[in-house]
Amino acid sequence: MKVCVVGSGAREHVLAHVLGRTAEVVVTPGNPGVPGSVATPPAGVEADLYVVGPEAPLVAGLADELRASGRLVFGPGADGARLEGSKAWMKQVVEAAGVPTARYGAFHEVEPAVEFLRSLPGPWVVKTDGLAAGKGVLVATSLDEAIADVRAKLAGEAFGEAGRTVVVEEGMTGPELSLLAVCDGTRAVALAPAQDFKRIGDGDTGPNTGGMGAYSPVPGAGEALVADVMARCVEPTLAELRRRGIDYRGVLYAGLMLTPHGPRLVEFNVRFGDPEAQVVLPRLASDLAELLATASSGDLTHASPPAFVDDACVTVVLASEGYPAAPRSGDVIEGIAKAEATGATVFCAGVARGPAGDLVTAGGRVLAVTGTGASVAAAREHAYRAAELISWPGLYHRTDIALEAALR
Ligand code: AMP
């Protein structure tokens, strides 16, 4: 089977890496650190299966275009991708599906949003409605800060058109969990749970980012919890989408909070998580290409259920100085080969070819270094040992990825 992976980040790198176990893979556009990268646009690549990585092309209808020309595509059409393209619509769908989630309101005007904020006990959450690369969310512990953020977002100062509608939510508390499910339009199968780290700073401080690290498996998130989330969040949503005439074939990524009252849905994403994919997919013991192809063709019953090795994976994201606000670029990256010589895998995201032919930084999140081990502690030690061998001026990473889980 020949698979075409669409995208240019570390998620597409790990997809290509794991699909490459059983399939021939090209990545478009990829990046200079991803083997098999081609400049040809997806429609110009001949392949048996197209896997669309990022949310933006899904929201823009790339999967629809490819399907219209008779291709087999893993990834929802624009109709289903709206789950991620509009947080207000996502909340409507999950509410109709009876999924446990935070109370919310969607607003275009400041005054009703402020009134709703005042009715909530706090913490307060303010989100831009549209795509904001994981950075449009404020979790505030002060009402004044939440109100100021509503004003800034609705004024279009922060995210332009994406912020013209805000979603205000009741803040939930508890550890977060990411559960990715592969869907064929009717059925869904769960992949292994993961936990990711969204804030820039150690101890979950500072602004939200696209994700600074992740690990899998998650201690305490066993089969019963996975079955509960599938039954209460993923399956009802898939059924609600179907009821609305949406044939959802792709990943439904449930971002969850394990609250004192049980798991609650924070959000759905419509693609593999980045960096969750960098710890979940390498642990797959079954055939990823077969799984995604059968889901895309609408009948998962023909695929072997996903199976995972017991070994743990931890990934540490290496970012540029200034990320997420103003990442610098153009610094020469050293040490990738040394890191890989430890047995770790280095997935490339924001990299480019420099004038001297070497890899240079070209974005906020530059690399994701995945270590493996018999326990989360061992995988964590491996990931950090490998990450320390990589350098460029201003390299930044968190030092506490998977720390708590390693101590459990
Ligand atoms: P989202 O883009 O909706 O996933 O939000 C990004 C992050 O903001 C989540 O992973 C949570 O850490 C946090 N967050 C979002 N919604 C809530 C909520 N209702 N309560 C508490 N934290 C939240």
Q: Residue 346: what pLDDT?
A: 98
Locus of tokens 């980012």: 209
Angle of the 143-154 helix axis to the 110-119 helix axis, nearest 10: 160
Other CB atoms closer than 10 Å to residue 307's CB: what's the count?
A: 11
Give the distance (Å) from ligand 1 centre to CA of residue 352: 32
Of all protein residues, whose CA lies closest to atom 9 belonging to ligand 1? 266
Q: Residue 338: what pLDDT?
A: 98
Q: Residue 183: what pLDDT?
A: 98
Confirm or reject: Cβ of 83 under 6 Å from ligand 1. Answer: no
Q: Residue 168: what pLDDT?
A: 95
* Residue 394, phi-psi category: left (phi > 0), alpha (psi -120 to 50), beta (remainder): left
Q: Residue 273: what pLDDT?
A: 97
Confirm or reject: Cβ of 42 under 6 Å from ligand 1. Answer: no
Of all protein residues, whose CA lies closest to atom 16 belonging to ligand 1? 266
Give the distance (Å) from ligand 1 centre to CA of residue 127: 9
Confirm or reject: Cβ of 316 under 6 Å from ligand 1. Answer: no
With beta carbons less than 8 A apart as the criterion, state whether 43 and 69 touch: yes
Which of 166, 180, 257 to probe ligand 1 with, by most ligand atoms within 8 A of CB?
A: 257
Q: Residue 2: what pLDDT?
A: 98
Give the distance (Å) from ligand 1 centre to CA of residue 338: 36
Q: Which residue stretches of the chain have pLDDT < 70? A: 133-135, 157-163
Q: Residue 157: what pLDDT?
A: 65
- Tell me the pLDDT tens digit for each residue of 296-349: 999 999 888 999 999 999 999 999 999 999 999 999 999 999 999 999 999 999
Q: Residue 177: what pLDDT?
A: 97
Q: Residue 156: what pLDDT?
A: 73
Q: How far is CA 144 from CA 118, 165, 301, in A?
A: 10, 19, 52
Q: Residue 95: what pLDDT?
A: 96
Q: Residue 135: what pLDDT?
A: 62
Q: Residue 302: what pLDDT?
A: 85
Chain-centre distance for alpha carbon 341: 27
